[in-house]
Structure 1
Amino acid sequence: MGLVGDALEVSESYTSVEEFREHIESTGRTKADKLRLWTLQIPLPHVPPAVIAVAAISSRTTSSMLAQMDEDLIRVLMQREEPLCVISIGSDGAVSERKARQELMDNLIRSGEGEIAERRITHPDGRSPPIAIPLLRVFGKAMVIVQDSKHCRKTMRNNLFSGARAIVLARYATFYQQVRDIVNDTAHSPLRRRDVERVDRQDDRAAERLFSSATLNYSINHLGKSSLGLSIYLFIFGDLIDAYQSRKVSHAERAVMVLRAKFFKDLWKSFLHEGGYSAQHYFISNDADKIVDTLILSLLGLIFIHRDFLDTSFPLMPWAHGSESNEHVFGIMRSLITDFTMLDVVRMIPKLTVRLQAACRSRHQNVGETAAGYSHTYFHDEDTPLSLFSQYPSDENLNSLAGVAYDEACYLWSLLGYESSDVLLPSRSQPGGPIPDDPDDASEDSEDGATISDRRELLDAIEAIATPTHDGMSREDCSRLHEYTFAAAAFNLQDFSDIDLLQADLDPVILKDLANQVEGILKASESPHNPALATPSNSDISQSTRMPLTSSDDISFLVEIRQLHQTKEAEKGVRRKGTPSEDQLRLGHVSDPPGASESSELISERRLLARKIRDIVKAVDGTEDVGTSAGLNRQVRWTKTPGLYSATSTSSGAHWGLDPPANGKKTGNSANALDAALKAANAVIKKRRAAFTGLPHAEDISTAKVNGLSTLKRGSYGIVLIENDLMIGEVLTMYEKGGGKFGRHSWVDECRNIGLISYMVVQVWRQSLGQRCQFKTIHGPSSHLALPRFAHIPSTSFLYTLPIGFSSRNEHGIEINRIFMDTVFGKLITSKSSIIGSVKSLQAKTSSKNDEDT
């Protein structure tokens, strides 16, 4: 990538590469492996962003260093002779970015150059403190710290797909397998198979399809009432994102959308606390929680700033606030050079203006693409009447709108089966303190199944031979390496030539047209009356977007609301009935779409050259150097670990983290991963066998009676240890964890070895007092709520699989076969204290091993 810090002066007196390298090392400068970029965006449609700063950074760059960079840039922008009015500072949801923004605020306040100007909205319940919206005033101007709304949408998708938690919404558990069920209905699914298999976690369009009205409609009408939790999850967080992305709703309606999400989340925390559920395992991740909070407060803050703090009327277009313009710039640079260096960036930036302007003027976009990464729409306006965006609700209206949002959030929770206790409502705090970070969230932004790019592979190969001459290399090999080095240099020269050929300056006609567009937008946004007095009341919100707030099994109104709020991209991007599925394309029932082939003569030549270089190096000393990259792919950029795999015990290999080979045989890394997983699974069985020695049915509970003849799958019943009691659990879904630090919990549909399972989600029944074979649905900490009980458990808590037909559901719960109760469950109950000790011992060993891995 380059070196961290300012440019380094290079002398012309160096006599060799080694001398130059020694000089670089003597400076003590760190090698950069990332790029930090700042863009300036006028938040109006069709106006391209401007790149105003760029810096090479490393993994050692702290949030304090990032905050100092931000502060220096703010001073340049806001303390100049003609200061700019900066109203938002956006970033994605990365932890380092959030910490840097907080430190930036703290630094400015500490220096006396910044202060918090707080606005408040009355809490509708009449007991809780007002909702405080912090505005940062810097050099006399108000601004907010915003998160990227599309990044939040992907985060909420990733949380739903994560095996590290089970999302429990009162009477309903929500998990990845429910979404997979949608895709399996190839005749009606609005989702594409690639949306749930070999998941690209940064795929904007896949996340957009998931939270679209079409997917919500399918969930309600095809999955049945058991998916009500999924439906409401999709509605709440889909509408939260469209509070930013929608081009057709008023700011009063946006306020309802974000406040509804806030109250829904507050009530969710109250439910977890009241129901005795741990937020770490049954709520969204800590990162997601904070990102959602920031989105909510930022949008309300932007409304206050545009209403109260600007010198002139200016329309608020929330979709233009965030980090999308940054990602757009990165995307264009990667389209020119996949793995660019700092030198490449310096050469490219002057050429980007024309590309950005062309993109902002273009209205063409393939909204149906899959695994396509980022989708940029911040410059789209969808021909919206712009005067709508210069009208802002008054304080009185906001208080009233908060009441609307609160009533709707309470109504949705009543549909889920929960009505909050008056005693708990005032606290609103997260039970037990902040949610601990989960290791599975560390890779939330990475991509599965990625590979190193051709350009990066060649650069790494050149890096491997840039060291002093390898001992034992023949003259012929040295000569060939020199030839290969010159060939690699030719490729780089071609890249430089391609950059130089790009147009650097905008056509004056285009610039004039852009100025006219901006002027037209500002005029069109002027309200017929004074915008400062434009205070829409509740009647300004269409009644068709309000919930009926009456008890009914028909919740199709949620689909109608999402249809009104979603973007055109969401409407058009879903899979239509009759569209060929990815399976059909793979099996050759229809021809591959144009451009399906990714082969490129130039790319293949780079890779071939890289491998020839490495063959020589490996033949000489058997070593291979793998460097870092600024733009390998999203997985390698984030985790520095290409090609992670998670093995599965299913015959199909079908889970969302593994792409099975076309011939069904696992080779290379995939085969190695499977072998390692099976060895680890057998080691788990061995530990279970040792832990349960001397207990009744010791051999059976060592394997949990799971094998090739008795597989574990959704709908299987078994004896589980939960809350220090033996209960009956029904398997709802299962996950396996991939190996290594960045291995994820990946879904599996069937298991033949309990040692392979990392977590499972179960509904649990507890034995009824005085009724030996009867197990009740309502029990435990949530019994006073009259709700069923769910548990997210490790495989060590699953003890014994019930034979098929040994359980039956009834109105009171579940009844277990009497013979099984006498011969198995009854004997295990007599040894319950020993079983508890054995399971705790196993879980302690597993926890210790996980600590070593991370």
Structure 2
Amino acid sequence: MELATKVTLLVLSTIAVYITNNYSQIRVWMLKIPIPGVPALPLAILPISSTYKAPQLSKYQIKLLRGMISHSFTVISNSADGAAVERDCQRRSATIGTNCQYSIRYPGGQKQDFHITYSMLDGKHWVNVQDSLHLRKTARNNAFTGARNLLLGDFEVNYSKVHALGTQSDSPIYQRDIIKYDKQDDNAAARLFSAAMLEHASQSPSEYMGLIVYLFLFGEFVDAYQSRIMSHYDRATIVLRTLIFLEQWRVFLKKSNYPENLHFISPASYDICRIAGNGLLALMIIHRDHLPCKLPLIPHQHGTDSVEHIYAEMRKLIPDFSMQQAILMVPKLTRISKSIHQSGAKFSTPTFKATASGYQHAFLDDADLKTEYEKLSHFPSDQEFSTIYQTAYEESEALWMLLGVPYPWQHLEVATESSISLSPDSAGQEDESDEEEELEDIDSSMRNQLNEMIENIDNDLSTEDSSQTAAIQEHIARIVQNPRAVTTLLRNAALLVEKPISEGNPLVYHLQDITTDDITPLASIRRSHQTIQAQNGVRNADSESKSNTSESTTSHRRELAQKMHAILRQADERGSSTGLNRKIRFTATDKSNETTTTTLQKPGGNSANAEVAARGRAFEVIKRRREIFKKNVKMHDVITEAMVSKSTLISRGTYGFVVSGEKILLGHAVTSLYSKGGGKVGLHSWVLSADSIGALSYISAQLYEPSGRRKQFNTVHVDYATVLGRGLRRFAHVPSNSFLVLLAKDDVAVVNNGAQLSDYAWSLYQDLLGERAEIVAGVVALNKRRRTKKGISEDVEDEVDETYH
């Protein structure tokens, strides 16, 4: 084709897969021309041990990069998944070239330049990128993990929020997406960040605003790569907005005195976002400035999905292959890949509605779509990048206003810079900056002008039309709430007058105009950008009810088929293994201690072990609480088991006293309870309730501070009342050992801006305050975990478990 004769662009993708010989894995490098319908080809295969780290792996990758570039191949991206060793390997590989930097200037120079980095070797430019589908699943897992409680302004993002929405009858996601779910399920991740899910959550913005913004932000970010129709102007806006928002998020947590390790996305996720964002922006610059001819940039082709598809085909040929077999499969894999890409549109059936299905490679369906190569060959100019930078900043601030943070341009000012450090030991952390004086002057000037306009309205407004008066008052209220929306609207209107929209310019939309009263535009924006997988994969309650009705009148043929499948499943219960493993799994002991060949009624194997370990852990936690509190606390009999029992469960919505720092506060468990499974790597699983405080690992709660008046507790805490312009609610994600006493429902009454305790609860709180120092010391000791070294038991600080729920 003409495209290939001019210049051949290549994507270098890497992945490690498991094999069964002396080496535990093989590492596969693949090349791909980033155009739909072109199959990826294996470049190199290397047997490696699981102990191989980035310094060893990068040597081979550098050798491949040098070899291809020396033979005049144009490699423009180095793609990998989000594993730590892969990201480290990418950074080390980039050091062989010269570090290039492109700076985006903010209009008027009011903010620091936004820097984009990429590499150059022998006149060839390339950049590290991350697989966007892995990024989407990582964002989903960060919201689901029990080791974190993400905080966005006045709202939380956690598994409990998604669970509440997902279990509703009209939910667009399936219950299998949230209950016993597959963390690698591409379809479930696409459904979660779909426009339908965003619209569903938008029905209760006061409850789910944090989740709404989170789904919108990361859904758009991933689709900046995955969308087949979005202009590069829009993609650049989304990427810059996301990177700015993440930095403002960190500033918010720091000013609010929240620890990042509990309330921000994981360090690995943050690093992946920065690499992915920098990569897409750099690809635009490389295509625009460093290629010998005009070529389209198709971002979703810069990923590892084609590599994973080849790996799946290898498993189909030989489930447990050796290194020799992997090499012998290469010619056949090449033919299979070519055949699939040529005939995929005819013979492959999309399974976007499937649940717990793992990887779903949507790139095979590109043949059904008409790729607009001309549109994807237009890239923003330097001036347009400057305008995009300003728009992205203002849109990020608009999102923070939805989250309850007033005047974010004053309180969340950051040093925005996407530069990804090429140092192997650096994660590219950024510093904060506070540049508020100039912005305050601008806002003050804008307010003065608005006041003059408001004073002159009475002279021109007819008093007879009350509806017109009400409408104007509503618009004025919105303007005063966000004066920057006026500036943006006027600027965009001027651009439309001065310069007609060219073929590559995007449709204009304004996040700045969205208020908490109407957030439906967020769903509309997502709907225009989302992929076919997200659009067609969601659950449709209406169609399902119709299908269920039709299925009730199944034909005799279908009924016969169902019975045959049931017989086959029953016959297959023995499984494929042999020997004692098969016998133990197939036999069970009944009440008379006689062995029968029936399906086990009680959990066995790992499930049974985990259940026993969890019970044992709960017992040990209670035992240790008793030992530590009994030493110095007179109320040890009350707080040892926190008054939690089978008759008084701790559940969502309950109140209790918790230790937060050096204080004892009232906690409302409105959010999530997590229970850690047995073993060192047990998962922090969300639970609806618990009958023992020892069975829980973390408790997410809203905190209330004593107001100074008897029995009164306030929502807004004095120390943080003016940090961000106005007081926000306070939340905590505390270990269960920080929970002291569970209160009965009648002991707490909700009042304006706080809660009021009963006489009994207030007396109990006074008793706890009397022993505050001893109780806090005991909690600190409990929140350390004991490790045994050579028979000596010692306490070490408990670390946050990064294992996803």
- Shorter-chain TM-score above 0.5: yes
1:369 to 341, 354, 362: 354
Distance 1:259 1:599 in 2: 56
Distance 1:704 1:736 in 2: 16
Structure 1 residue 271 corresponds to structure 2 residue 256: no
Distance 1:62 1:811 in 2: 56
Distance 1:598 1:780 in 2: 64
Distance 1:715 1:758 in 2: 17
Instruction: Show the counterpart of 1:572.
Output: 536
Distance 1:146 1:849 in 2: 36
TM-score, normalised with respect to structure 2:
0.77
**How far did residue 700 of structure 1 move?**
2.1
Structure 1 residue 699 corresponds to structure 2 residue 699: no
Instruction: Show the counterpart of 1:826.
Output: 766
Instruction: Show the counterpart of 1:34.
Output: 25
**How far did residue 369 of structure 1 move?**
1.1
Instruction: Show the counterpart of 2:738.
Output: 797
User: Contact (CA 8 Å) 2:613, 2:679: kept in 1 or not?
Assistant: no
User: Contact (CA 8 Å) 2:116, 2:417: kept in 1 or not?
Assistant: no
Q: Percent identity over the alignment?
A: 34
Instruction: Show the counterpart of 2:492.
Output: none
Distance 2:189 2:41 in 1: 28
Which string of whole-angstrom CA distances, capped at 9 and with x for unpartnered residues, describes residues 36-77 of structure 1?
A: 111111011111111111111111212111111111111221
Instruction: Show the counterpart of 1:767.
Output: 706
Instruction: Show the counterpart of 1:152.
Output: 135
Instruction: Show the counterpart of 1:192.
Output: 174
For 1:226-625, what aligned pairs fall within 5 Å after superposition? Answer: 226-361=207-342, 362-363=344-345, 364-379=349-364, 380=366, 382-418=369-405, 419-420=407-408, 422=410, 425-427=413-415, 540-543=505-508, 545-549=509-513, 551-578=515-542, 610-612=577-579
The DSSP-based 3-state class of the residue aligned with 1:74 is helix
The 1:302–1:695 alpha-carbon spacing in structure 2 relative to 1, beyond 3 Å, is: same
The 1:133–1:830 alpha-carbon spacing in structure 2 relative to 1, beyond 3 Å, is: same
The 1:852–1:278 alpha-carbon spacing in structure 2 relative to 1, beyond 3 Å, is: closer
Instruction: Show the counterpart of 1:203.
Output: 185
**How far did residue 420 of structure 1 move?**
3.1
Question: Partner letter of residue 796 of structure 1?
Answer: N
The 1:826–1:849 alpha-carbon spacing in structure 2 relative to 1, beyond 3 Å, is: closer
User: Contact (CA 8 Å) 1:199, 1:371: kept in 2 or not?
Assistant: yes
Which string of whole-angstrom CA distances, capped at 9 and with x for unpartnered residues, describes residues 573-609 of structure 1?
A: 111114659xx99x999999999979999x979965x
Distance 2:657 2:300 in 1: 50
The 1:428–1:547 alpha-carbon spacing in structure 2 relative to 1, beyond 3 Å, is: closer
The 1:189–1:235 alpha-carbon spacing in structure 2 relative to 1, beyond 3 Å, is: same
**How far did residue 398 of structure 1 move?**
0.6
TM-score, normalised with respect to structure 1:
0.73
The 1:150–1:594 alpha-carbon spacing in structure 2 relative to 1, beyond 3 Å, is: farther
Distance 1:723 1:538 in 2: 57
For the aligned residue pairs, the C-alpha RMSD in angstroms reads 3.4
User: Contact (CA 8 Å) 2:161, 2:208: kept in 1 or not?
Assistant: yes
**How far did residue 352 of structure 1 move?**
1.4
Distance 1:595 1:209 in 2: 32
Distance 2:604 2:337 in 1: 43
The 1:851–1:248 alpha-carbon spacing in structure 2 relative to 1, beyond 3 Å, is: closer
Distance 2:53 2:21 in 1: 13
Structure 1 residue 56 corresponds to structure 2 residue 44: no
The DSSP-based 3-state class of the residue aligned with 2:698 is strand
Number of aligned positions between the proteins? 665
Which string of whole-angstrom CA distances, capped at 9 and with x for unpartnered residues, describes residues 387-444 of structure 1?
A: 11001110110110111111110001011011336376245699xxx9x99xxxxxxx
The DSSP-based 3-state class of the residue aligned with 1:281 is helix
User: Contact (CA 8 Å) 1:209, 1:573: kept in 2 or not?
Assistant: yes
The DSSP-based 3-state class of the residue aligned with 1:93 is coil
Question: Partner letter of residue 848 of structure 1?
Answer: V
More displaced 10-residue stretch of structure 1: 260-269 or 553-562: 260-269
**How far did residue 691 of structure 1 move?**
1.6
Distance 1:813 1:174 in 2: 22
The 1:421–1:125 alpha-carbon spacing in structure 2 relative to 1, beyond 3 Å, is: farther
The DSSP-based 3-state class of the residue aligned with 2:675 is strand
**How far did residue 662 of structure 1 move?**
10
Question: Partner letter of residue 33 of structure 1?
Answer: S
**How far did residue 376 of structure 1 move?**
1.2
Question: Partner letter of residue 38 of structure 1?
Answer: W
Distance 2:765 2:553 in 1: 51
1:678 to 615, 618, 631: 615
Distance 1:274 1:359 in 2: 53
Distance 2:307 2:566 in 1: 26
The 1:258–1:68 alpha-carbon spacing in structure 2 relative to 1, beyond 3 Å, is: same
Instruction: Show the counterpart of 1:93.
Output: 82
User: Contact (CA 8 Å) 1:397, 1:538: kept in 2 or not?
Assistant: no
Question: Partner letter of residue 359 of structure 1?
Answer: I
The 1:207–1:424 alpha-carbon spacing in structure 2 relative to 1, beyond 3 Å, is: closer
Which string of whole-angstrom CA distances, capped at 9 and with x for unpartnered residues, describes residues 439-489 of structure 1?
A: xxxxxxxxxxxxxxxxxxxxxxxxxxxxxxxxxxxxxxxxxxxxxxxxxxx
Question: Partner letter of residue 669 of structure 1?
Answer: N
The 1:707–1:423 alpha-carbon spacing in structure 2 relative to 1, beyond 3 Å, is: closer
Question: Partner letter of residue 391 of structure 1?
Answer: H
Instruction: Show the counterpart of 2:113.
Output: 130
**How far did residue 214 of structure 1 move?**
0.7
Distance 1:234 1:781 in 2: 31
Distance 2:541 2:664 in 1: 47
The DSSP-based 3-state class of the residue aligned with 1:313 is coil
Distance 1:405 1:389 in 2: 21
More displaced 10-residue stretch of structure 1: 760-769 or 374-383: 374-383
**How far did residue 696 of structure 1 move?**
4.2
Distance 1:830 1:33 in 2: 59
Which string of whole-angstrom CA distances, capped at 9 and with x for unpartnered residues, describes residues 537-596 of structure 1?
A: 7992212x4325254411000000000000111100111114659xx99x9999999999
Which string of whole-angstrom CA distances, capped at 9 and with x for unpartnered residues, describes residues 94-123 of structure 1?
A: 0000001111122x1xxxxx2011101124
The 1:724–1:849 alpha-carbon spacing in structure 2 relative to 1, beyond 3 Å, is: closer
The 1:605–1:179 alpha-carbon spacing in structure 2 relative to 1, beyond 3 Å, is: closer
The 1:315–1:736 alpha-carbon spacing in structure 2 relative to 1, beyond 3 Å, is: same
The 1:662–1:750 alpha-carbon spacing in structure 2 relative to 1, beyond 3 Å, is: farther
The 1:615–1:194 alpha-carbon spacing in structure 2 relative to 1, beyond 3 Å, is: closer
Structure 1 residue 139 corresponds to structure 2 residue 104: no
The DSSP-based 3-state class of the residue aligned with 1:422 is helix
User: Contact (CA 8 Å) 1:271, 1:420: kept in 2 or not?
Assistant: no
Structure 1 residue 73 corresponds to structure 2 residue 64: yes
Distance 1:536 1:166 in 2: 44
User: Contact (CA 8 Å) 1:190, 1:575: kept in 2 or not?
Assistant: yes
Question: Partner letter of residue 686 of structure 1?
Answer: K
More displaced 10-residue stretch of structure 1: 143-152 or 374-383: 374-383
Distance 2:668 2:410 in 1: 33
The 1:763–1:663 alpha-carbon spacing in structure 2 relative to 1, beyond 3 Å, is: farther
**How far did residue 35 of structure 1 move?**
1.5
